[in-house]
Amino acid sequence: MSITLMALAAAAGLTPDTAVGRWKTETRNGIVEIARCGQSLCGKLVGSDGITANPALKDSNNKDVAQRGRTLKGIQMLSGFKWESDAWTGGTIYNAEDGKTYDAKITMVDANTLKLRGCIFVPLCKNQTWHRVR
């Protein structure tokens, strides 16, 4: 996170719970509901273009063949995050498009914007900006 983003986050009074809520992803109009799971942060997929078209859409790309029959709506996509001074780190994100799970970090930009970084390993990472859904 840049020094500018950290300063803005601090000035905005952001807390670890600022990430709690519903967020729209950059792709396929995904909606992820982020909640506290004990001391951690987790998130489940609650909607997307695919789920709107087919509410019974399956997790057909999962690397675990046994999981391919589960529906995508409601699957846990984010898990295991721990708060570290200015970001949620040490967690994972599941990508249903390729059926893989990646190491991830969530950084709040402001109360309605978060940056999510998923990595195979650093520096092989992808970043997305998610916006709060009201």
Ramachandran angles phi, psi of 69, nearest 5°: -90, -10
Pick the closest to residue 75 from 101, 112, 38, 107 (CA basis). 101
Q: For residue range 49-81, what is the model confidence (pLDDT) as tens digits?
A: 999 999 999 999 999 999 999 999 999 999 999
Say yes or no to pLDDT of 3 above 70: no
Q: For residue range 107-132, what is the model confidence (pLDDT) as tens digits?
A: 999 999 999 999 998 889 999 999 99
Angstrom distance (rounded) from CA 34 to CA 79: 10
Strand segments (E) across 14-132? 21-24, 31-37, 40-47, 76-84, 87-95, 100-110, 113-121, 124-132
Q: Which domain holds residue 96?
A: 3-11+20-132
Where is pLDDT greater, at 69 or 85? 69
Task: Note the pLDDT of residue 7.
Answer: 45
What total number of domains does the chain contain?
Answer: 1
CATH number of the structural domain spanning residue 61: 2.40.128.520
Task: Note the pLDDT of residue 123.
Answer: 87
